[in-house]
Amino acid sequence: TRRADVRLPQLKQFNQVGQVILVMSGKGGVGKSSIAALLAASLSRQGAKTGLLDADITGPSIPKLFGLPPGGLRGGELGMLPAVTPGGVRVVSTNLLLKEADLPTVWRGPLIAATIRQFWGDTIWGKLDTLIVDLPPGTSDAAIAVLNYLPVSGAVVVTTPQELAGLVVRKALKLLQNKEVPLLALVENMSYFTDSQGAKIEVFGPSHLDDLADLTGSAPRIQIPILPALSQAADAGAVETIHLPEIDRIAALLRSTPSP
Ligand code: ADP
């Protein structure tokens, strides 16, 4: 007797993602992953079903920010199930795939692109209002792959006053322009420090947001201060305990952005 060829429905077929939002930066260390994590957490807190795709394949830092242990992804023929943070954010990252924290040091461009396609297409995201994508710094293979394969609604670009007159971040902004991806917000992170007397100190020098005006158009510019509590919470895997009005403002902005 021949067994009937019963094909189970692929759960990922039922994925429904309302909007895909990129978080980008010119260079590393400006707080891009922290902002991506805070944004996803804020959206989830506001009641939006939220996913976070860590597209920084070779330098993933999202799981650690949320305290998610390595090897947390489960998968089978039906697709891959994201790990879920205490605040309800569904996360996919190479750091969750591998048991060891050490990743192979050399990932070729095509493998990076293939991994991103899988994270997007083979994950059982379910119904999401927003998928936040944490891109690696710069205009890398990963950034190109995401822009080519995902229906991107818009992007948030993160910079700091340290970035040399914004030269590197200009490249990221130009890439968005070329791909016709709307810039939803320009974030200047670590913009200033407020001392015990309440005075604002520009630790890394004056803002250079004005220098970028030709590329940022009317996108809102949002400054986030240096917050020791943020880096402490991030190191402790408790990024979701940090609630910032500036981030809530960006989250509200994203929620009012139409899908493509
Ligand atoms: P990137 O993703 O751009 O490489 P990260 O998000 O990993 O940057 O942040 C780099 C470091 O700076 C981390 O240690 C993080 O905790 C810290 N950091 C980020 N933003 C702030 C901030 N506003 N105040 C204090 N520390 C911050």
How many CA atoms within 13 Å lie on the side-chain side of 65?
Answer: 27
The string of pLDDT tens digits covering residues 199-255 is 999 988 888 888 899 999 999 999 999 999 999 999 999 999 999 999 999 999 999
What is the mean pLDDT of the segment spanning 66-89? 88
CATH code for the domain of 51:
3.40.50.300
Among residues 26, 78, 85, 76, the alpha carbon closest in space to that of 54 is found at 85
Look at the chain and report how many structural domains it folds into: 1
Ligand 1 pocket test: which of 23, 30, 34, 193 has the largest number of ligand atoms within 8 Å of its C-beta?
34
**Per the domain annotation, does 6 fall within a domain?**
no
pTM, to two decimals: 0.93
Range of the domain at 207: 12-255
Q: Are 192 and 201 in contact (CB under 8 A)?
A: yes
ipTM over 0.95: yes
How many CA atoms within 13 Å lie on the side-chain side of 1?
Answer: 2
Find the 132 Cα to ligand 1 centroid distance in Å: 17
Find the 237 Cα to ligand 1 centroid distance in Å: 13
Residue 159 DSSP code: E
Helix residue ranges per DSSP H, 158-244: 167-178, 213-216, 228-235
Residue 256 DSSP code: T
**Per the domain annotation, does 2 fall within a domain?**
no
Residue nearest to atom 20 of ligand 1 (CA): 31
Q: Are 257 and 19 in contact (CB under 8 A)?
A: yes
